[in-house]
């Protein structure tokens, strides 16, 4: 499965975004606990003998949405490059 995980009904769905070692990719961790749960968010994955559990505190969805809205705002205010939108980085 590629792309962001879908929300699952009946689960918390809080997100944690982790970057890779090269800074050009990321993965999304999604909380599988019940909605409105107490304590940390949690995702379990892996396979028998290689189980992984990630716990975290802050649901990063609001920060992500705010950051994406800011990017949209900046892009919408940017002066059009004379080479056109597909030529922002001429060689
Ligand atoms: Zn959660």
Q: How far apart are CA 54 and CA 6, in angstroms?
A: 18
pTM of the model: 0.73
- 87 pLDDT band (50/70/90 cuts)? low
With a cut of 70, say whether residue 88 has pLDDT above it.
no
Distance 35 CA to ligand 1 centre (A): 7
Per residue in 6-50, pLDDT (tens digit) is 999 999 999 999 999 998 998 999 999 999 999 999 999 999 999
Q: Rounded to 10 degrees, what is the CA torsion of 21, 23, 25, 28?
A: 80
Distance 53 CA to ligand 1 centre (A): 13
Share of the chain above pLDDT 70, in %: 86
Distance 15 CA to ligand 1 centre (A): 8
H-helix segments, 1-91: 61-77
What are the boundaries of each domain within the chain?
Answer: 15-77
Mean pLDDT, residues 53-73? 92
């Amino acid at each position: 499965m590629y792309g962001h995980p879908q929300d699952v009904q009946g689960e918390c769905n809080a997100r944690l975004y982790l970057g890779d070692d090269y800074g050009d990719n990321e993965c999304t961790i999604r909380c599988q606990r019940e909605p409105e749960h107490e304590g940390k968010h949690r995702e379990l994955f892996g396979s028998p003998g290689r189980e992984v559990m990630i716990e975290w505190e802050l649901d990063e969805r609001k920060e992500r949405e705010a950051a994406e809205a800011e990017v949209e705002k900046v892009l919408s205010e940017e002066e059009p490059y004379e080479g056109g939108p597909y030529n922002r980085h001429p060689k």
